[in-house]
């Protein structure tokens, strides 16, 4: 069993829809990271959180430490949000990654 | 501009021919790490470095070497590449040991034939 599980694996949405991507983990962590990987391959860090909730523009990330679960929400989705979203957890010097969620937003 | 650079971006090589992928950051970060990304397996950590002359193995270190002689540089060395090392490689850095936001390089696509 992977230490970091994401769902869904693939997600197709219409422009304007509210999107949720889920992440569950099974180890004790220092922080949880949400990353975005665009079709060109580059990876950008969106959020790092160890408790509560963070918001940046139309993106919201939440974490429930007791339940070992995090969600990434995208409000008013746009075709430019199409990317692979990766959940990762860090503990000590280690980082473990989920398999990613491929999001396609259609106009 | 704060950035992590990797070279080369693309490389096709043959089995057994030693190669080095360079990684450099201009943010004075202490922590640097190498990852490989494979379809169906996602990103996996190869090696990391907490500071100059301090490195340690990640999840998949076999077949790789690293060195950290200067703070800004963290090269990945494949002494004798094999086809199973065909992958997309990312270098990343952060101000200190995790948890800190990581800054990723653009990636190096390596093909070993």
Residue B52 predicted with pLDDT over 70: yes
- Cis bond upstream, residue B99 (ω within 30): yes
* Confidence label for A19 from pLDDT (cuts 50, 70 and 90): very high
pLDDT at residue number B96: 82
Tell me the per-residue pLDDT of A52-81, one tens digit each, with 9 for 90 and over. Answer: 999 999 999 999 999 999 999 999 999 999
A-B contacts (CB, under 8 Å): 63
A28 touches chain B (CB under 8 A): no
Between the two ends of chain B, the Cα-to-Cα distance in Å is 36
Element (H, E) at B99: none
Chain-chain contact of A97 with B48 (C-beta, under 8 angstroms): no
The arithmetic mean of pLDDT across residues B73-100, rounded, is: 93
Q: What residues of chain B lie within 8 A of the CB of A96, using their CB? A: 45, 59
B53 touches chain A (CB under 8 A): no
pLDDT at residue number B40: 85
Closest CA in chain A for residue B32? A93
pLDDT at residue number A1: 59
Chain B closest CA to A25's CA: distance in Å? 15
Chain-chain contact of A97 with B40 (C-beta, under 8 angstroms): no
The arithmetic mean of pLDDT across residues B77-101, rounded, is: 92
* Confidence label for B99 from pLDDT (cuts 50, 70 and 90): confident
The arithmetic mean of pLDDT across residues B54-76, rounded, is: 96
The arithmetic mean of pLDDT across residues A85-98, rounded, is: 91
Q: Are B105 and B27 in contact (CB under 8 A)?
A: no
B34 touches chain A (CB under 8 A): no
B/e letters for A85-96, b = 16+ CB within 10 Å, e = fewer, are: bbbbbbbebbbb
Residue spans of beta strands (DSSP E) within chain A: 4-7, 10-14, 19-25, 31-37, 43-49, 52-56, 59-64, 69-74, 83-91, 94-97, 101-106
To test the contact with chain A by mutation, choose from B98, B105, B110 the residue with the greatest count of A C-beta atoms within 10 A, namely B98
């Amino acid at each position: 069993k992977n230490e970091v599980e994401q769902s869904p694996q693939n997600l197709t949405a219409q422009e304007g829809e509210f999107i949720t991507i889920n992440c569950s983990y099974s180890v004790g962590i220092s922080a949880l990271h949400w990353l975005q990987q665009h079709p060109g391959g580059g990876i950008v860090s969106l959020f790092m959180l160890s408790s509560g909730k963070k918001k940046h523009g139309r993106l919201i990330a939440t974490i429930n430490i007791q339940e070992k679960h995090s969600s990434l929400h995208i409000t008013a989705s746009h075709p430019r949000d199409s990317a692979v979203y990766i959940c990762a957890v860090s503990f000590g010097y280690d980082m473990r990654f989920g398999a990613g969620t491929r999001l396609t937003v259609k106009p | 501009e704060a950035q992590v650079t990797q070279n080369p971006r693309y490389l096709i090589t043959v089995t057994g021919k030693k190669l080095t992928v360079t990684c450099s950051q201009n943010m004075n970060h202490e922590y640097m790490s190498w990852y490989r990304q494979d379809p169906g397996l996602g990103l996996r950590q190869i090696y990391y470095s907490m500071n100059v002359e301090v490195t340690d193995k990640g999840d998949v270190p076999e077949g790789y070497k690293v060195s950290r002689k200067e703070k800004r540089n963290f090269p990945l060395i494949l002494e004798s590449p094999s086809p199973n090392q065909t992958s997309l490689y990312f270098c990343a850095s952060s101000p200190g040991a995790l948890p800190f936001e990581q800054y990723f390089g653009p990636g190096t696509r390596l093909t070993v034939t």
